[in-house]
Each structure stands twice: as structure tokens, then as C-alpha cells.
């Protein structure tokens, strides 16, 4: 989270208008034109960068200022920090038509790297190729005292990511060869210290020592990113940069054509940056560049895996070990995919690494690339990849759900390997309760990821259980927080927990009667069973105000919409009926978080009619449950979105045209239940405990009662009397639950429309209960059919006086 001071600076930068920005550009131009490169210019450029970077849209700078920024960037006398800021400002302006930069303007490799970064930010494919050609020419330089190359490798990596075919094959081969040399043959001596020039300085005192391992011992093998020292040489820096771009280069650059070989390519010394090449074997020298790079990359990764097992003396080195483990295994995976012959050389060390890391919680992130390795190569290596993934899915989310970085990487791992999971999606689907722990704890960051993942996770066997867990997601967040409180030391708890004290919750966690519910909520795999968690909701209520619980509750509606969008693609009639019943049951048994129930009800109210549309006989099949639901409503509960959607669905689908099993007796029972509900709603007076009834509830109830009466015409006198009373009631603002002239007008208008329609029962049935064929959308759009003409004629008839109507 940003500090208050940082937020204030960003807000001020966003509020800078065009006129104020123009004045500030004039000040920056004055400083740069006078070559006043002191603290004032540095501060001004920092402020200018903040202004152009703080908004999503591009800022327009004065042309004079842009020209001076480019001139300063290419000046050989300008301090490095100012040039960095000039390049940063110009990059933020991309794409820009006022640039006149060219790689030819750069007078050093450092300047070339900055100029290239600005040009690449423009996104012009031709410019990308031009920059790539220029940088490659410098990299091909063999001068012993040539320019430093450490500024240029990041540019090459960016060029290949933007345009993999930007470099010709010969240049690609040459760079692949050099990357292999930098990886394997960097110096094993530390960089020399700068001579102090003092009287007592001697050549012996300035002799560099050997590099060391992370555990402090002297390195006995070649240099890697995990080698340590006080100072580093140029080729050691190139070694580190080569490894940082290695995987991207393997995937996009060098070995893009692994079958292309060139027997004339030879390994040669590449200036002063490569040493110890004479130690390489003759066979290695004869390898084509792409194979040479893969060979050295394999050796490098094996060396990193060996170094990662050493006990680091510093925490920074320990963190670096974990990061290098992840990258090394990912590179090995790429190597084995590009050349299967590497598998049998890489497999023993990856197997040993997995055995070592399974019991080390500090290195859990490295288990993901290991699982990826075995998913790709398990069959060829005779390794059960499902067992590897089973361990991953069963333990990691339960034990490390609070690690935000791991959570994102884990979900990305699932998304990236759906094709590999396709042969055994059951493992992924049955593990959704564990995966949802990541979602519950880090919902703002992972909501979009799970929206994309839900269509794969849900199927007919897990839909009901998953819907329950989605509705219980805020209570899962609270339970996970409680689990952390019970297991972690006070210093390790999240900061926001300090404001919420829940000793009663901690005691409930240890209560044998509540433990079963906690265990069900915190289960690792789909159990196929459902538990009523209302008692648990009450125990967790003190945690409902936690920030993390509130954030999770805000994410649930989005997840529910994604869930139903996926389910409706495959749901059978039985599943749709089951889910519809679940919506009714859970509408009044949600974790009480501020605003959560209302948000969820809005989603459920839109999904219940969708399920009925998917399976229209649902209303008849679930008549008993729907009658119980309607009969149990009253008071404050009779004003919700769910009620409106249920009443509408009853009026729409309780008909013989949708289900032949629908009987007049059923219609009468629903009519009586809805009539009683409408009476209760209209006779209740609003109060603090009983909020105002929305007019939508009343109008939907009236419309549904009219629809039912049109299908069982014995009920028409009753509904006509009821509608007349409602019209009279709506003319008396002092009576009834509805307030406001607009609301009363809506009720009066609907009652009048329905009464006029009932004066012609046959027309009412035709309009309120159209056949399935007539209700198809094409009939409303096709001007060649008679339906639009019929509706127009009925409208005109209903507008006339009652005495003029026939019959």
C-alpha cells in the first residue's frame, strides 16, 4: 500500500493542468538550455517525470522542451543521472511524433542503451529492427578495450521480445555463441579495487581474490549469479545479464531454428570479456552456436542447483538462491523441450531437488516449476506427474494461502497448464476448495484470474458444492484469519488484524462442537457433501468487519456471475432445478458482512429466472419448495430482489404451455399464496423495522396474479376485485407502504392496464400467456408476421371506452 506522502504527490501530479505544465516545461527548458545540470535540474526532471507518469493518458510537452531533453540525453558531458531521467520522461511520452533520436547520436554504450530504450518504447516495428541491428553491430565488436556491453544486453532482450525475427540468422548465431561463453567462462577472480594512490599502496594489496560461494567458501567451479565477492569484473556482470535473459532468448531468439547447424562456426575469444576459453574441449568448440548455448545453459543450471543447497550467510543471498532455483528449473524445462536428449542429464538433479524441497517450506515457490517440468516430461521420464501435482494441490494452498506472490504464481500455473491438465481435470476440479483459499485471502488481486479459471473448475459434479463455497467465501476468509491467529506468533500476523480482537472466536475454534464445521469450511478437497454453516457464521461474526473479509465480500458478486455463466453452458434440467432451490435456501443464510447480502441478492435475483429459462418445468417440479418460500416471506423479507424474481418466474413458467403437469389446483395454490403476500405487503405501514416496499414488488405481484387468473378463469373475479382495490389504494398516498407520486403512479398504471386486459379474457390469455412459438424473438422482429398488427389492434381496442367494447 502506498504511503500517505506518496499518494499526495501522485494526486498533485495528476491535478497539474496543461497551462501549469507549460510553465513548468519552460522552466525545465531554461535549465537544460543553459546546461545547468546541478541539483535544480535534477529536481525539476524528477518532478516532470512524476507529472507525465502519474496519469494513464499521454501528456503533451512543449516541443522546445522535448528537443532539449533529447539533446541532453545525447550530450557527452551530461551527468548520468540526468540522462536517465531524460530517457524516462521521453519513454513515458511514447508514442511521440516529435522524436528525432537515432542510435547514431549515442557516443557510448551507456548512451546507446538509453537511446535504444526510448526508441523501442515507440512501438514502431521498423524502429525495433533498426535498433536491433545497431546494438548487434556493437556487440560484434572484438576490440579489447571496446565499449562496455552490460548496457546493451537488456536492449537485445527487449528487441527479441518485441520482434523475434528482427535479428538475421547469422547475428543470432553469433550472439548465441557469445551468450554461451559469458555463461560458462566468466572470470573466477574478483574485480580489482580502485587504486587509492596513497604512499603505502602496493601491488600486492590491490591483487583481487577469488570469488566465494554463498556459504563463504572459496569457489572451486565456474562463476554464476550465486557467486559472491566484493567487486565484479565486466565479464561477471555479463554472466549475470546473460542468465537473466537466457530463458527468453531460448524461447524467442537464438535456438529458434535448432535444426540449423553450421559446421564452420567455431568458438573464439570475444575480446577482453571472455576468458579461460582454452579450457573448453575440442568437441564443445565444434558445436553449432544454438547447441553450444544449450550445452552451457545446462551446465550453468546444474551448477545453480548445486549452489542452492549451500547454507547462505546472508538473507539476501538466501532469497537469491530461491529465485535462482525457480529460474534454473524453468530453463531446464525449456532445454528439455527443445532437445529431448537433455532430459536424461537434467532428470537426476531435478528429482533430487524435488526430494530436498518437499520438506522445506521456505522454497515452496520452486515446487511450481518442478511440477511444470514433470507435467511436460513425466511420461518420457517415467515419473508420475499426477502424484507430483497431487502433493502440490493438497498441501501448498492450505499451508501458504497467505503468501500473495505464491498465490498469484499458483493460479497462473493452473491457467497456463490447462492443456496438460486436460487428461486429468479431476485433480484440478476436486482441489477447488484449496484453491479458493488463495482467492479468499487475496481476492482483489485474484478475482480476474479466477473468473477465467472458473469455467474449467466447475462441472456437474462440483457445481452445487462450489456455489455453496462461493457464497461462504467471506466466512472462509474469516476462518483463515482465525487459523493464522491460532498458529502464528504475534509478530507474524498481518497488521490489519491488530484492530480486531476476537478471543471468543479463538475459543470457538477449539470447541469440539464447532470443529467439524471449521474442518468442513477449511477442507482441502471437494467432499461432495454440504453443511449448514449458520452456527459458524455466528461464531465468526466478530471478524466480519476485517478489511480482508470486506474485500472478499465485494468480489463474490463478480465470481457468482462468472460461475453461472459457466454453469448454464452445460447444466441439465436436474442440475438447474437443484441450483435454483439452492438459491432460495441460501438467500437468507449468508455471512452478515456490510452490504454483502444486498449485493448477492442482486446477482441471485438475476440468475433464478435464467435457471428457469434453462429448464422451464422447474417451477412445476419445485412447486412445494416455491410455495414454502413464498409463504415464509413477509415483513422486511418481502421487499427483496430475490422475491421479485421468484414471483416473476412463477407467473412466467407456471403454465401448461411449459409443463403439461401443471394443473388448475396448482395454479390456485400459488394464487392464494401470492394473494396473501400482496395483502400483507399493502397493509403494512413503513417503519424503522419495516422499510418502504418498492413498487416493483407490488407491480410484479399484481402481474403474476393476473397471469395465473388468465390461465384459470375462475380466478378472474378475485383478481379483478384485488386490482380495483390496488388502484384505489394507490390513489390514497396516506395509506399503504408505498410513498412518492412516481411510485403510486406506477402502481395505478399497472393496475389499470391489467384490469383493461382482463375485460377480454381470451385476449388476456393471448397476451399474458403466449405460446412458445409466438414468444420466440423472431416473431417480434419479423414485420411480415401478423403478431405486430394483432398487438397494435388490441392496444387500440383497450384504449376505447368500456361501453364500446364488443360483448
Mean pLDDT of 211-218: 89
Q: What per-residue confidence (pLDDT) applies to 580?
A: 93
**Closest listed residue to residue 368, CA positions, set 447, 376, 431:** 376
Task: Give the per-residue pLDDT at 672.
Answer: 92
State the pLDDT at residue 775. 56
Residue 447's alpha-carbon distances to 386, 450, 551, 552, 674, in angstroms, are 27, 5, 11, 9, 39
pLDDT exceeds 50 at position 262:
no
Model confidence band, residue 194 (pLDDT cutoffs 50, 70, 90): low
Q: Which residues pair with 228 in a beta bridge?
A: 212
* SS3 state of residue 223: coil
Among the residues of 223-266, which ranges form H helices? Answer: 234-244, 246-252
Average pLDDT over residues 115-122: 88
Tell me what pLDDT residue 296 has: 94
As a whole number, mean pLDDT of residues 718-726 equals 89
Using one digit for the tens of pLDDT, what is the confidence trace for 129-154?
A: 888 888 888 877 655 444 577 888 88
* Buried-exposed string 74-94: b where 16+ CB fall within 10 A, e elsewhere: bbeebeeebbbbbbbbbbbbe
Contacts with 585 (C-beta within 8 Å, 6 or more apart), sequence order: none
* Banded pLDDT at 243 (limits 50, 70, 90): very high
What SS3 state is found at 635? helix
- Does residue 783 have a pLDDT over 60? no
With beta carbons less than 8 A apart as the criterion, state whether 263 and 210 touch: no
Contact residues for 204 (Cβ-Cβ < 8 A; gap 6+) = none
In percent, the amount of the chain with pLDDT more than 70 equals 82
Q: Looking at residue 298, what is its pLDDT? A: 95
Summarised one tens digit per residue, pLDDT across range 87-114 is 998 988 888 777 888 887 777 888 888 8
Quote the distance between the C-alpha of residue 567 and its chain's center: 20
Read off the pLDDT of each residue in 525-531 and give the average, rounded to a whole number.
82
What is the number of helices (H) and of strands (E) in the chain?
40, 0
pLDDT at residue 217 tops 60: yes
Phi, psi dihedrals of residue 659, rounded to the nearest 5°: -150, 120
Beta-carbon neighbour count of residue 597 at 10 Å? 16
576 vs 779, more confident: 576
What's the average model confidence in pLDDT over 728-733?
A: 74
If one compares 512 and 804, the residue with the highest pLDDT of the two is 512
| Of 137, 181, 191, nearest in space to 289 by CA | 181
How many angstroms separate the CA atoms of 447 and 452, rounded?
9
Residue 561, pLDDT above cutoff 90? yes
Share of the chain above pLDDT 90, in %: 31
Q: Which of 334, 332, 402, 330 is nearest to 368 (CA)?
A: 330
Classify each residue of 414-430 as buried b or exposed e, where b means 16 or more C-beta atoms within 10 Å of its C-beta.
Answer: beebeeebeeeeebbbb
Mean pLDDT within 454-464 = 92
- Provide the angle, in degrees to the nearest 10, between the axes of the packed helices 18-33 and 63-74: 40
pLDDT given for residue 470 in this prediction: 95
More confident residue, 320 or 8: 320
**What angle (nearest 5°) sits at the alpha carbon of residue 524, between those of residues 523 and 529?**
50
Closest CA to 354 of 345, 344, 363: 363
- CA-closest candidate to residue 627, choices 683, 679, 584, 579: 584
- pTM for the structure as a whole: 0.82
CA 73 to chain centre: 38
Task: From residue 443, give the alpha-carbon distance in Å to each of 23, 216, 457, 549, 591.
Answer: 43, 42, 17, 9, 17
Average pLDDT over residues 383-394: 85
pLDDT of residue 611: 93
Lowest average pLDDT, out of 531-545, 562-576, 696-710, 726-740, goes to 726-740
**Mean pLDDT (the chain, rounded):** 81
> pLDDT tier at 730 (50, 70, 90 boundaries)?
confident
Structure confidence at residue 281 (pLDDT): 42
Task: Give all strands (DSSP E) within 66-113, no chain letters.
Answer: none
Mean pLDDT for 24-38 is: 85
Q: How far is CA 540 from CA 433, 466, 516, 555, in A?
A: 19, 21, 14, 19
- Helix 39-53 × helix 80-92 angle, to 10°: 20
Q: Please report the pLDDT score of residue 582 as a whole number.
A: 93
Q: By C-alpha distance, which of 671, 597, 596, 607 is closest to 645?
A: 607
DSSP category for residue 270:
-
- CA dist., res. 111 & res. 83, Å (int): 8
pLDDT of residue 647: 92
790 has pLDDT over 70: no
Q: What's the CA gap between 177 and 291, in Å, rounded?
A: 9
pLDDT band at 346 (very low <50, low <70, confident <90, very high): very high
Q: What is the mean pLDDT of residues 715-730?
A: 87
CB 509 within 8 A of CB 518: yes
Output the nine-digit C-alpha cell for 685.
405501514
420, pLDDT greater than 90: no
722 or 513, which is more confident: 722
Given the C-alpha cell 467439524, which residue does it identify? 516
Q: Torsion angle, CA of 560/562/563/567, rounded to 10 degrees?
A: 140
Q: Is the peptide bond before 95 cis (omega within 30 degrees of 0)?
A: yes
Please give the pLDDT value at position 246: 92
Question: What's the longest Cα–Cα distance across the chain?
Answer: 125
Residue 95 confidence (pLDDT):
81
Q: Give the Cα separation of 716 and 706 in Å (integer).
A: 8
pLDDT at 282: 42
The larger pLDDT score, comparing residue 19 to residue 412, is at: 412
User: Mean pLDDT highest for which of 115-129, 369-383, 474-488, 543-557?
Assistant: 543-557
CB neighbourhood size of 178 (10 A):
25
DSSP 3-state of 43:
helix
Q: Dump pLDDT digits (tens) for 52-91.
A: 888 877 778 888 888 888 888 888 888 888 889 989 989 8
Q: Which residue has the cell 477449539?
A: 510
pLDDT in tens, 276-285: 333 334 445 5
Tell me how far apart the alpha carbons of residues 770 and 780 are, in angstroms, rounded to a whole number. Answer: 12
Amino acid at each position: 500500500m502506498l504511503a500517505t506522502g506518496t499518494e499526495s504527490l501522485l494526486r498533485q501530479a495528476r491535478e497539474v493542468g496543461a497551462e501549469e505544465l507549460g510553465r513548468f516545461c519552460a522552466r525545465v527548458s531554461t535549465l537544460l538550455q543553459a546546461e545547468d545540470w546541478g541539483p535544480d535540474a535534477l529536481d525539476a526532471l524528477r518532478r516532470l517525470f512524476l507529472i507525465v507518469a502519474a496519469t494513464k493518458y499521454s501528456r503533451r510537452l512543449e516541443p522546445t522542451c522535448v528537443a532539449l531533453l533529447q539533446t541532453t540525453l545525447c550530450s557527452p558531458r551530461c551527468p548520468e543521472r540526468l540522462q536517465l531521467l531524460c530517457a524516462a520522461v521521453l519513454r513515458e511520452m511514447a508514442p511521440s511524433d516529435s522524436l528525432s533520436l537515432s542510435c547514431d547520436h549515442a557516443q557510448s554504450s551507456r548512451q546507446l542503451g538509453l537511446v535504444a530504450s526510448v526508441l523501442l518504447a515507440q512501438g514502431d516495428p521498423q524502429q525495433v529492427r533498426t535498433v536491433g541491428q545497431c546494438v548487434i553491430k556493437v556487440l560484434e565488436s572484438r576490440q579489447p578495450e571496446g565499449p562496455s556491453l552490460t548496457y546493451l544486453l537488456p536492449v537485445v532482450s527487449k528487441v527479441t521480445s518485441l520482434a523475434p525475427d528482427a535479428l538475421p540468422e547469422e547475428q543470432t548465431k553469433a550472439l548465441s555463441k557469445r551468450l554461451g561463453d559469458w555463461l560458462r567462462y566468466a572470470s573466477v577472480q574478483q574485480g580489482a579495487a580502485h587504486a587509492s594512490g596513497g604512499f603505502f599502496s602496493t601491488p600486492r594489496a590491490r591483487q583481487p581474490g577469488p570469488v566465494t560461494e554463498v556459504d563463504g567458501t572459496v569457489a572451486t567451479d565456474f562463476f554464476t549469479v550465486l557467486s559472491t565477492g566484493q567487486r565484479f569484473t565486466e565479464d561477471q556482470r555479463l554472466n549475470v545479464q546473460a542468465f537473466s535473459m537466457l530463458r527468453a532468448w531460448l524461447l524467442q531468439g537464438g535456438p529458434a531454428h535448432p535444426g540449423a547447424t553450421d559446421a564452420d562456426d567455431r568458438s573464439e575469444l570475444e575480446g577482453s570479456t571472455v576468458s579461460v576459453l582454452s579450457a573448453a574441449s575440442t568437441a564443445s568448440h565444434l558445436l553449432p552456436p544454438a547447441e553450444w548455448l544449450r550445452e552451457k545453459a545446462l551446465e550453468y543450471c546444474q551448477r545453480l542447483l548445486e549452489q542452492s543447497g549451500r547454507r547462505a550467510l546472508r538473507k539476501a543471498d538466501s532469497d537469491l538462491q530461491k529465485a535462482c532455483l525457480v529460474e534454473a528449473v524453468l530453463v531446464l524445462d525449456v532445454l528439455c523441450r527443445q532437445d529431448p536428449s537433455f532430459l536424461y542429464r537434467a532428470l537426476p538433479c531435478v528429482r533430487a531437488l524435488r526430494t530436498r524441497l518437499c520438506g522445506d517450506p521456505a522454497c515452496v515457490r520452486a515446487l511450481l516449476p518442478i511440477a511444470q517440468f514433470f507435467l511436460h516430461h513425466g511420461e518420457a521420464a517415467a515419473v508420475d506427474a499426477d502424484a507430483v501435482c497431487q502433493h502440490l494441490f493438497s498441501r501448498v494452498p492450505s499451508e501458504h494461502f497467505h503468501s500473495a506472490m505464491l498465490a498469484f504464481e499458483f493460479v497462473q500455473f493452473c491457467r497456463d497448464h490447462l492443456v496438460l491438465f486436460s487428461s486429468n481435470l479431476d485433480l484440478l476440479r476436486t482441489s477447488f476448495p484449496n484453491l479458493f483459499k488463495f482467492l479468499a485471502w487475496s481476492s482483489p488481486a485474484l478475482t480476474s484470474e479466477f473468473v477465467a479459471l472458473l469455467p474449467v473448475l466447475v462441472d456437474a459434479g462440483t457445481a452445487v458444492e462450489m456455489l455453496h463455497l462461493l457464497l461462504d467465501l467471506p466466512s472462509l476468509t474469516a476462518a483463515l484469519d482465525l487459523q493464522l491467529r491460532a498458529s502464528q506468533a504475534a509478530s507474524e500476523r498481518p497488521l490489519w488484524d491488530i484492530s480486531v480482537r476476537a478471543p471468543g472466536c479463538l475459543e470457538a475454534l477449539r470447541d469440539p462442537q464447532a470443529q467439524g464445521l471449521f474442518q468442513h469450511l477449511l477442507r482441502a478437497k471437494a467432499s461432495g457433501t454440504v453443511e449448514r454453516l449458520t452456527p459458524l457464521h455466528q461464531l465468526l461474526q466478530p471478524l466480519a468487519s476485517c478489511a480482508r473479509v470486506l474485500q472478499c465480500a465485494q468480489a463474490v458478486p463478480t465470481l457468482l456471475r462468472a460461475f453461472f455463466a459457466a454453469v448454464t453452458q452445460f447444466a441439465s434440467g436436474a442440475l438447474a432445478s437443484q441450483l435454483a432451490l439452492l438459491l432460495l435456501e441460501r438467500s437468507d443464510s449468508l455471512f452478515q458482512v456490510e452490504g454483502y447480502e444486498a449485493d448477492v441478492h442482486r446477482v441471485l435475483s438475476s440468475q433464478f429466472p435464467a435457471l428457469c429459462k434453462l429448464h422451464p418445468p422447474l417451477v412445476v417440479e419445485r412447486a412445494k419448495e416455491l410455495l414454502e418460500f413464498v409463504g415464509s416471506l413477509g415483513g422486511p423479507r418481502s421487499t427483496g430482489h430475490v422475491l421479485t424474481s421468484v414471483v416473476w418466474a412463477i407467473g412466467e413458467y407456471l403454465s401448461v404451455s411449459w409443463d403439461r403437469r401443471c394443473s388448475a389446483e396448482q395454479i390456485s395454490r400459488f394464487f392464494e399464496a401470492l394473494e396473501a403476500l400482496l395483502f400483507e405487503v399493502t397493509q403494512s405501514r413503513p417503519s424503522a423495522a419495516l422499510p418502504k416496499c418498492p413498487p416493483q414488488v407490488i407491480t410484479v405481484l399484481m402481474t403474476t396474479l393476473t397471469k395465473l387468473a388468465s390461465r384459470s378463469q375462475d380466478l378472474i373475479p378475485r383478481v379483478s376485485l384485488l386490482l380495483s382495490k390496488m388502484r384505489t389504494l394507490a390513489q390514497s398516498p396516506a395509506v399503504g407502504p408505498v410513498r412518492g407520486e412516481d411510485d403510486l403512479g406506477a402502481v395505478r398504471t399497472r393496475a389499470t392496464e391489467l384490469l383493461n386486459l382482463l375485460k377480454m379474457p381470451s385476449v388476456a390469455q393471448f397476451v399474458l400467456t403466449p405460446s412458445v412459438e409466438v414468444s420466440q424473438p423472431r416473431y417480434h422482429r419479423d414485420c411480415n408476421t401478423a403478431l405486430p398488427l394483432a398487438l397494435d389492434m388490441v392496444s387500440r381496442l383497450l384504449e376505447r371506452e368500456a361501453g364500446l367494447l364488443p360483448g
